[in-house]
Structure 1
C-alpha cells in the first residue's frame, strides 16, 4: 500500500473486467487498530435521484478479516458470501443484488470489512461473471459488454483497522450522480461527491462542446438516455479520442526541460526530499539531492498520461512511484510548463493550457466542493473526492438528481 498522500488512491481504471484480487487496500501502511472500528458498519443509502426505475445495490470485495483474503459479496445484513469457482469461458456469478430504496426513500445495510466496491444500477440488474481468475466486472468501453446499456455507477471503499475510506470516483467514467459520507463516533459528518445545482447536465453539455473529440466520450442508449461519459483513457481505447491528444503539450514539456530543470518534491511532509529532472533525447532523467541517478521516464503518450500507467508507471516505492504520480498530475492538469516546481497544488493553475485533460477539468468545475477523482492520481495536492475517518459510526451514500 502506498505510504504517501496517494495511500488512499483508488486505481479504478486498472480493475475493469479484472478479478477482484486487483483491488487495493486503501488504508495507509502502518495504520493502527481503533477500538471504535466495528466488524460491520451501517451504510444508509438515500435515493433522491428522481428516477422511477427499480434500484439495485451490490457490495463486492475482498474480505479483510480473513488472512486468505477471499473474494465475494455481502448481503444487506453484512454477511459475507464467497464466490464459487470460476470457469472458462466465464460463468454467471450468483445474484448478489440487494433491492434498493425507491425514489425519495432510504434504506440502511451493513457493510463488512472489505476493500471493494458498492455498485448501484437503475432499471436492470448488473451482469457479473466468474472467470478462473475471479470476478469479471463491467467494462462498458467494450461495446459488447452486457452492461453497456445499463445506467449504473459505483463507489469504492475500505473498512479495516484504520477506519473507513470511501470515495466518489470518476476515474473510469462519469455517470449516475452520487455522494458519499461518514459520521464518526463524535458525531462529526464529512461528505463529498455532490454536484452543483445543474452540474450533471452542465458537465455533459460542456463535454459536448469541447473541440477535439471530447464529446465522443459520451455513451447514450437507443432511447436517448445519457448513460455516461467514458474517461479519456477509455476514450483512447475505443477510438473516441485520437492517440495524439496530448502530443503537443508533451512536446512542449520535453522542449522546456531539455534546457531547464524540473524539480519534484513528492512528499509534502518531506520538503527536503527533492528530485531533479532534465530531458535528453526521448528520456527525462531524474537525480536525487546528492546528484545520483534516481530514475528515468520515456516521453509519455496520451494513454500513459490519462491512465497514469505504462510509460508513467507508479510502483509502490519512494522514488519512481513518487515522481511518476507527480508527473501524472502535472500532465493531466497541464501545470508542467507554468511551474517548474512540482507538484503544483494551486487549483487556480490547473487545466489552463488548451491541451489538457478536459474531462477531469469539466468534472471538477461542476463539483460542489471542487473535489473529484478525474484521474487516478487526482489526490496529489488533496483534490480527490474521498472521505475517511479512523472512528466511523455510520456511512452514507446519496443518489442525487440528474439535473
Structure 2
C-alpha cells in the first residue's frame, strides 16, 4: 500500500501510542473493554453548498487486512489490484449537508477518514494495495478535488484520532472524543479567521513558501503542500533549510547536544557530537549508539532519509527529537533537547515556516504540522481509553 513518506513517520507514532508508549512515557490503558465499533458523529459546519463524501479506509487490526468500512462499521477487504492500478470499489458514504450531522460507526482500524467536497475521490488498487492520493503529483486524479483527512487508531486500548497537516493544509476540520463521564476532548479548530490567515501569511513569506499553495482553474484554493512535498514538486528550493542545518553541524563540532528522549525517564540521555561530518550519539558509558549523516532539507521536513526513525528505543527516539529541533529551529538556542516550550519555537529566520504559520492559527496552538510534532505534546491529537463517541467537525472556510 502506498503511504506518504511523512505518514510512515506518523504511523510510527500511532504504533507507539497503540502499544501504550509515547515520547513522554507510557499511556494509560483502558479500564473498560472497547466495543467492536463506536459511533462517529460527522458534522458539517463548513457553510459550503457542495455535497460531502466520507471514506473510512485502513487496516483491520484483528486480521491485518486492508480495506474500508461502510456506514455501519462493517469491514470490506479490498479486492486484488493490478498493474497498472485498477479502480477501487466505491467506498464513499454520503456526508451531511451544511448545518447537518450524520453518525456512522468506526471499527477497530488503523486508518484514515477522508472527506471531499463536490466530487468523490479517486482510489485505485495496485498489486501492493491501495494507492492513496498524492497531490504533489500534478497528474494525480485527485489534484483538483477539495479534500482532507483525519488519521485514527481504534483498538482495545481506546481511540487516538488526530487533525493532521503532515502532508498538506486544506479543508478545515476538528476532531474529538467523548469519554465515559460525558466530557469531550477536541482539537484541530482554527482561530476565527485562521483559514484565510494561514494562506495570507504563507503568501507573505519570502523564499518560495507561497508556491506551496495549490489552486484550481476556477480560482478555488485547494491546499498548501507541506514543505517536503513542495521540494518534491519543485515548488520550494531544495536547499531552503541548509543554512540552519550547516550552523547546527558546526556548533556541535565543538559542543555537545544532549538528548533526553523520554520525559518519564529523565535518566536516559544521549550525547551528540559531530566528527568527520557525522553526528555520533553516545550513551552514559561513552559507547556510540547511533550516528547521523548531515541531513538535507527534505530529510528534515520529512523526518526520514538521513533522519530515519525506526520503531526502536534508541535511534528512533533520538531522531524524533532531532527532527523536531530542526523543524522548530531550537537546536542552536538550546543544547538540551527536546525543547518543549513553544515560546522558543520557529525563532530563527531559517525554519519550517509552514509549521510556524499553522500553529499560529490554531485555537489551542496544537497541530500535526510535521511528522513528529508530538515531541513535547504539541500535536493535535485526542485520546480516550474508553471512547463513547468520536467526532469530526467540518469548519468554516474563513
Post-superposition offset of 1:219:
0.2
Give the distance between the partners of 2:16 and 2:386, measured in 1 at CA. 16
Give the distance between the partners of 2:13 and 2:112, measured in 1 at CA. 9
Query: 2:68 maps to what in 1?
Result: 73
Equivalence map 1:295-314=2 (5 Å): 295-314=290-309
Query: 1:14 maps to what in 2?
Result: 5
Instruction: Give me the CA root mean square deviation.
Output: 1.7
CA contact (8 A) 1:26 1:115 kept: no
**Scaled by the length of structure 2, what TM-score is found?**
0.95
Equivalence map 1:162-173=2 (5 Å): 162-173=157-168
Query: 2:198 maps to what in 1?
Result: 203
1:188-237: CA deviation from partner (whole Å, max 9, x where unpaired): 21000000000000000000010010000000000000000000010010
1:213-264: CA deviation from partner (whole Å, max 9, x where unpaired): 0000000000000000000010010111111101100111111111111111
Structure 2: unaligned runs, 5 residues or longer = 21-27
Equivalence map 1:57-206=2 (5 Å): 57-66=54-63, 69-206=64-201
Query: 1:27 maps to what in 2?
Result: 17
Post-superposition offset of 1:34:
4.6
Structure 1: unaligned runs, 5 residues or longer = 1-10
CA contact (8 A) 2:38 2:388 kept: yes
> What secondary structure, in the 3-state scheme, does the structure 2 residue paired with 1:257 have?
helix
Post-superposition offset of 1:138:
0.5
- Distance change in 2, residues 1:134/1:22 (3 Å): farther
Query: 1:46 maps to what in 2?
Result: 43
1:269-295: CA deviation from partner (whole Å, max 9, x where unpaired): 111111111111311111111111111
Equivalence map 1:301-340=2 (5 Å): 301-340=296-335
CA contact (8 A) 2:33 2:156 kept: no
Post-superposition offset of 1:15:
7.0
Post-superposition offset of 1:64:
1.3
> What secondary structure, in the 3-state scheme, does the structure 1 residue paired with 2:299 have?
helix
Give the distance between the partners of 1:44 and 1:88, measured in 2 at CA. 37
CA contact (8 A) 1:180 1:191 kept: yes
CA contact (8 A) 1:43 1:108 kept: yes
Quick one: which of 225, 234, 239 aligns to 2:234?
239
**Scaled by the length of structure 1, what TM-score is found?**
0.94
Post-superposition offset of 1:37:
1.0
Query: 2:276 maps to what in 1?
Result: 281
